[in-house]
Structure 1
Amino acid sequence: MKEKEDEYKQLFMGEGLEQHEALNNLLTELEKNPEEGSIVDEIFRITHTLKGNASGMGFSDIASLAHTLEDLFGAIKHGEFKLNNKIFEAVFKALDVMGNQLSSLKDNKKVSFRGIKTKIDVLIRESKNNCESKEESKRKDNSSKQPAEENQAVINDPSTDLDDAQSFLDQDEFIITDKSLPEEKEVEVRKIDPEINKVTFSDLVQVPVGKLDNLLNLVGELIIERDRITTSLVGTEGANNNEFSRLKRISSDLQYSVMNVRLVQVGFLFNKFKRVVRDASISENKNVDLQIEGESTEIDRNILQIISDSLIHLIRNSISHGIEQPEERQAAGKSQRGIINLRSYNDNDGVIIEIEDDGKGIDIEKVKLKALSKGLVTKEMLSLMNDNEVVMLIFEPGFSTSDNVSSLSGRGVGMDVVKKATDSIGGQINIDTTKGKGTLITLKLPSSMAVKGTLLFQLGDQEYAIPLSYTEAVVSYSKSDLYKISNGIVASHLGKTISVVFLKDLFETGGTLRQRIFNSYSELQKDDKIDIIIVTYNGRTIGMVVDKLLQQKEIIEKPLSKPLDNVDFISGVTILGNGNVCPVLNISTITNSIFNMSLSNQ
């Protein structure tokens, strides 16, 4: 019984959050077009439905607040009073409280709502009284101008509910004889079509996300076990390759079918940002419009959830740092209203999300000065960095170019959190900016977290995996192609000088990384050939020397359990077909370690 109650609760929350998002979007549109009656009608309908659902579930606080909003928009719908800024601000506040109420259902926390409910009730009464006073004055004026006999005719005209009843009956499909009426009036209408009373079912079934996650984990275990059995039986007597192929096909189809069920359209998240832009614009006293493209692009729900806070921060950052004040834009020959474009589209096996503003762009020189003052780089390093590498410094912890603290920015935190969230799902982030023109932020994300494309390689007898999302190329060099400098080893790749690290030295224990960095290089002979995997992360490209390249393979990565969850350079593990545990490299920590080592030895 408890499980059923929890399931109904989750279903209510899912529908309630969708209704809450719709109300936010509708109210944002209504604020721009306050005379649009269809929007008022839709808000009234949604609040009425939400109130009923909450009452049915026993969530009286949510039902009470929804009832107040229903009363408000019912009165507006019937023309009892007009919308104004005070009402809009109160309703937006009420929606924020309602959002907290819905979220609090997870942990049964109490959310205070009486204050905003009372405020809206007072606004309703005040607005009604004002309107009634105006109508009364208007009626008195009209009454004094009408002839006496005309007024008498109006007074003596009897009103009955008969005409209203007739109108109601005409809309329904049944026959009724009202014997209680003086003239025994019979009203005939069409008979009910039996087909109308048929019960219909929706083709959609709502399933809690937790069930999908559990199902995907089980499918992952099935795939690992399939690979293990297949590998162990290949070549043995009685083994049938056709049966293996069929098993692989069926299990793979099952895996991708479950993954597809977890996909959601990015519009599910993007449409929430209309309210975010509205609030941020008001906070910064700027005029900003949000334009959305590619709402139908599909991505794993868990990825969208992890990246949602980062997207909110990036959009707010674009408004705070990027979009200029209206008078500045006008002086620069721009429209007073700034524009933020939020786009998404598929790219190979991933999803691209772009946030572009037409603001003032990022001041590269200001970034350099701030990075130097924070000790993030040295002058020598800056001289070797291109503009793109400099701009990526804004993602370093504690970096901020804001001169003033506001509610949106200037607190010295934020952009590094965006990078960490992107790293955690195997994504990448890049920035293109032009001073005076605007900034484009591009996030390249995997479409699913369940399966990860990797390149397998060996160090000694141990197999490792590196995500393909970071891999640019695989090259073969000799020792003569490498150059030893004071801070490490470098090589030339596509006309660019890159750092090179022997992973064997990186994973050794004892001494500092700086002390170990030349061990394997010193053991090489002049003509020895080495395999190098070129990877790029956060605008930084490095070459990683491995003992042996194996193959590309899709894997199911499992996170490390405590106390190994904080191991440097490893993000997780997978199980290969031979039963071996295969660590997955954490490219972000490796590249950052190489970069920081270079910085500390300048």
Structure 2
Amino acid sequence: METNEYLEVFIDESKEHIQSLNDHLLELEKNPTDLTMVSEIFRSAHTLKGMSATMGYQDLADLTHKMENVLDAVRNHQLNVTTEILDVVFEAVDSLEEMVMDIASGGQGSKDVASLVEQLNAIERGETFQENTGSTSSSSSEPDSPIQSNLASTIDEFERTVLRESADQGYQNLELHITLREDCLLKAARVFMVFEILEQSGEVIKSLPTVQDLEDEKFEQFFSVLLVTKESPDELEKKVMKVSEIETVTVHTFTAEEQTNRAGSSVNNQASSSEQGNTAVAEAPAKSEMETAKKAPVSTKTIRVNIDRLDALMNLFEELVIDRGRLEQIADSLKHAELQETVERMTRISGDLQNIILNMRMVPIDQVFNRFPRMVRQLAKDLGKQIHLEIEGAETELDRTVIDEIGDPLVHLIRNALDHGVELPEVREQKGKPREGSLKLNAYHSGNHVFIEISDDGAGINREKVINKAISNGVVSSEQADALTERQVYQLIMESGFSTADKISDVSGRGVGLDVVKNTIESLGGNITIDSELDKGSVFSIQLPLTLSIISVMLVEIKEEKYAVPLSSIIETAVIKKSNIMSAHNKKVIDFRGKVVPLIDLQDVFEVPGEKLDEEYCSVVIIRKGEKMAGLIVDTFIGQQEVVLKSLGNYLTDVFAISGATILGDGQVALIIDSNSLIM
């Protein structure tokens, strides 16, 4: 079979199934008796196994099959879920992910997993982990069969009342276990046909899985139904077996512990006094179930698009933006009414097109966040800590370019929070805190930016310790340290090589590598701030632009050279008297709204040739980076414009204070200023 054309789909869907395995295994660990979750895990593993076998990746298929066997044993009550079992299954999922990534990079997905397979085999045989002492019989006709036990455990008090009243009125409460053939292609259609027969024979009270899951084909080959009817089990079995692609049908009387132990006289009295009302109640859920079953599933109109195609589309649109600027300039100079009207219309349409293209590139930050629950679980185990992870705003969208870059900085910040932020359970208890620490990830939109916050309720940052370390490292002087605000002190831990950790661990040292985090975020046009309170916790807040491809700038001119300052970093522009410029610490400064703001002459920074202007006033662009501000001295303001950010290429990667370039409407090249690098 020619598989090349399906390879990308296989890789994408395999990654989705592996993520689903991780997510559901974490949920199962919280609630080990939730067999619905086990079914979800089993389904993902089963699908991944089939896909791998079809594509010819036998190692991947074999390992998934071994993992599937363990899940099947749990699902059939032959094994209890334990942390030890989950550790092995998690390790298997890690290996599956490594094999898929190998395939994505051009390999064959081969990996030596003999030791892991033996562990899975041992679990399946029950040689390593204790088995459930209950019956392991697979006969669904026995009262203690796994499927019946599952269905009985889902019955609520209202449904028990319905079943009791039905039995008192001469109806039978029957449980049907139905298995479809392995080669059944239209499972939902077969389920619908079964429900049609059952509806004619009685009233459906409950199904497992739920009707919605059956309709969406979120089940394997078998399902069970609880029915109130006057027909015999043999008659029902014959009717259901007439549906094609049905493998087996078993029917038995449904019994539940509360039903058999009820106080008979009380129930009989209640039944005799409210016979009509209870009959109507019994019909209500059944009709609701069947009405739901008859609804056709809604199809989602989406397609997978290779990201390279979106990049190519964006590149073409960027050229269109450049030509649009040129046309606007020509129309303004010619003053031709019809031409101006046409250009204005084209500008509006291209603006709408720009929004559509940018939205197509936006992806949920969940693509980054979804790796963290599993990571936090493992780190908590390694560190001997108890951590509750809370994630909010995972649906917040960012440009795919930003998503690709932000993952590693977030991983580092989380590692720091767990290692040196959240205390050990015993230490937390001594401080009067819960033994379980809290780590929260929150993402949200604000204007043209996305904010990501990583907060913990740990030990916080010791201000005095930071200041002492900063002074000893020569980062600040004692006099400077005394004048620093709380937030400015915390920002010191982002300096290169700075650390307050008494011991550097394998996981992290708070401060070690945080300069890399800071540099990465600032290279994306963002910034990071830190707030902390001793013994209360810390909050690392990251601000990022929504997109990096097309940005709004203020065009300025220095002599005959044009520069672009990103609007996201501009507070305002001002024209000031040169006589108001003062000196402090050998630097030019101005008093801007009660704050001392240093001035930076861009002609000096970029060594622009030409005489200094001898005028009474000068033009200043006030920029901000966190709480710090600076004023950029320029010759003139040209105006605001949307421009396409272009890289300077591999030969000009380290140009100070320049993040890229753009082509203006008149064909000139303007350099885009990296405002963050100008503020120290």
Choose which of 508, 519, 535 in structure 1 pairs with 2:623: 535
The answer for the alignment partner of 2:287 in structure 1 is none
Structure 2 distance, partners of 1:264, 1:113, is 34
Gap runs ≥5 in structure 2: 137-174, 182-189, 195-236, 245-293
Where does residue 413 of structure 1 map in the other structure? 512
Deviation (angstroms), 1:259: 1.0
Cα displacement (A) at 1:590: 2.2
1:113 corresponds to which residue?
113
1:166-177 matches, cutoff 5 A = 173=193
Please tell me the residue identity of whatever aligns with 2:302. Answer: L
Normalised TM-score (structure 2): 0.73
Specify the alignment match of 2:23 in structure 1.
Answer: 25
Aligned partners of 2:639, 2:518: CA distance in 1, in Å? Answer: 29
Counterpart contact for 1:427–1:446, Cα < 8 Å:
yes
Task: Give the superposition deviation at 1:111.
Answer: 4.1
Q: In the alignment, does 2:276 pair up with 1:206?
A: no
The answer on whether the counterparts of 1:80 and 1:128 sit within 8 Å (CA) in structure 2 is no
Determine the C-alpha separation between the residues in 1 that align with 2:380 and 2:551.
Answer: 39
Q: CA deviation at 1:502?
A: 0.5
Q: Do 2:331 and 2:340's aligned partners in 1 also have CA atoms closer than 8 Å?
A: no
2:648 is matched with: 560
**Which protein, 1 or 2, shows the higher relative CO under an 8 Å CA cutoff with sep ≥ 6?**
1
- Asked if 1:123 is matched to 2:123, the reply is yes
Superposed CA deviations along residues 533-557 of structure 1, whole A, max 9, x for unmatched, are: 2222254322211111122222220
Closer, same or farther in 2 for the Cα pair 1:373/1:117, shift >3 Å? Answer: farther
Aligned match for 1:315, one of 385, 394, 414: 414
The structural deviation recorded for 1:216 is: 1.1
Q: Distance in 1 between matches of 2:563 and 2:620?
A: 14
**Residue 167 (structure 1) shift:** 7.9
Alpha-carbon displacement from aligned partner over 1:355-409 (angstroms, at most 9, x marks no partner): 2211221111111122223332233432332221121111122122111122221
Residue 582 of structure 2 is aligned to residue 483 of structure 1: yes
User: Could you tell me which residue of structure 2 aligns to residue 500 of structure 1?
Assistant: 599
Matched, 1:284 2:383: yes
Give the distance between the partners of 2:551 and 2:482, measured in 1 at CA.
37
The alpha-carbon distance between structure 1 residues 400 and 475, as it changes in their structure 2 partners (threshold 3 A), is same
- Please state whether the residue corresponding to 1:397 is helix, strand or coil: coil
| CA drift at 1:449 | 1.9
* Amino acid corresponding to residue 215 of structure 1 in structure 2: L
**Alpha-carbon deviations, 1:258-296, whole Å to 9, x = none?**
111111222333233211221221222111111122232
Secondary structure at the residue paired with 2:535? coil
DSSP-derived class of the 2:334 partner: coil
- How far did residue 462 of structure 1 move? 1.2
Alpha carbons 1:81, 1:127 under 8 Å: kept: no
Task: Tell me how far 1:39 sits from its aligned partner.
Answer: 1.0
- Alpha-carbon separation, structure 2, partners of 1:392 and 1:165: 63
Letter in 2 for 1:114: A
Distance 1:113 1:459 in 2: 64
Tell me if structure 2 keeps the 8 A contact 1:101–1:111: yes
The yes-or-no answer on 1:394 pairing with 2:493 is yes
Is the partner of 1:240 in helix, strand or coil?
A: helix
Match of 1:558, SS? coil
Q: CA deviation at 1:49?
A: 0.8
Q: Flag structure 1 segments of 5+ consecutive residues without an equivalent.
A: 137-162, 175-184, 511-518, 596-602
Matched residue type, 1:576: L
2:419–2:509 CA contact under 8 A, matched in 1: no
Establish whether residue 589 from structure 1 lines up as the match of residue 645 from structure 2.
no
After superposition, the Cα gap between the structure-2 partners of 1:579 and 1:341, relative to the gap in structure 1 and judged at 3 Å, is: same
Q: Percent identity?
A: 33
**Structure 1 residues 20 and 457: alpha-carbon distance in aligned structure 2, compared to 1, 3 A threshold:** same
Q: Secondary structure at the match of 1:227?
A: helix
Give the partner amino acid of 2:578.
K
2:331–2:343 contact (8 Å) kept in structure 1: no
Instruction: Write the distance in 2 (CA, Å) between the matches of 1:132 and 1:327.
Output: 34
Shift of 1:119: 2.4
CA gap 1:223/1:165 in 2 versus in 1, 3 angstroms = closer
Distance of aligned partners of 1:454 and 1:111 in 2 relative to their CA distance in 1, 3 Å threshold: farther
Shift of 1:572: 0.4
Matched, 1:260 2:359: yes
Runs of 4+ off more than 4 Å: 127-130, 132-136, 163-174, 185-192, 198-202
Output the CA distance in 2 between the equivalents of 1:384 and 1:492. 18
| SS across alignment from 2:97 | helix
1:79-94 equivalent positions in 2, closer than 5 A:
79-94=77-92
Contact 2:85 2:129 (C-alpha < 8 Å) held by counterparts: no
Contact (CA 8 Å) 2:565, 2:672: kept in 1 or not? Answer: yes
Q: How far off is 1:22 after superposition?
A: 1.6
- Distance in 1, Cα, partners of 2:60 & 2:458: 40
Question: What amino acid sits opposite 1:442 in the alignment?
Answer: S
Query: For 1:306-364, what per-residue CA distance to the aligned partner results, in whole angstroms no more than 9, with x for missing partners?
Result: 11111121122111222122222222222221112211221111111112211221111
Per the TM alignment, residue 463 of structure 1 is displaced from its structure 2 partner at its CA by 1.2
Q: Which residue of 1 aligns with 2:70?
A: 72
User: Does 2:321 align with 1:223?
Assistant: yes
Which among 481, 502, 508 is matched to residue 403 of structure 1?
Answer: 502
In the alignment, is the contact (CA less than 8 A) between 2:310 and 2:361 conserved in 1? yes
Deviation per CA, 1:183-218: give whole Å up to 9, x if none: xx98688889xxx9x999651101121211111111
Does the 8 Å contact 2:618/2:635 carry over to 1? yes
DSSP-derived class of the 2:528 partner: strand
Q: How many angstroms apart in 1 are the aligned matches of 2:334 and 2:613?
A: 41
Give, as a single letter, the amino acid of the residue that structure 1 aligns with 2:640.
Answer: Q
Task: Determine if contact 2:658/2:672 at 8 Å carries over to the other structure.
Answer: yes
Measured after TM superposition, the shift of residue 486 of structure 1 is 4.7
Stretch moving more, 411-420 or 254-263:
411-420
**TM-score, normalised with respect to structure 1:** 0.82
Alignment of 1:149-548 (within 5 A): 173=193, 202-236=300-334, 240-410=339-509, 413-508=512-607, 528-548=616-636
Between the aligned partners of 1:189 and 1:32, the Cα distance in structure 2 is 39
Are residues 486 and 427 of structure 1, via their aligned partners in 2, closer, same or farther at CA, if it must alter by over 3 Å? closer
Alpha-carbon distance in structure 2 between the residues aligned to 1:285 and 1:324: 10
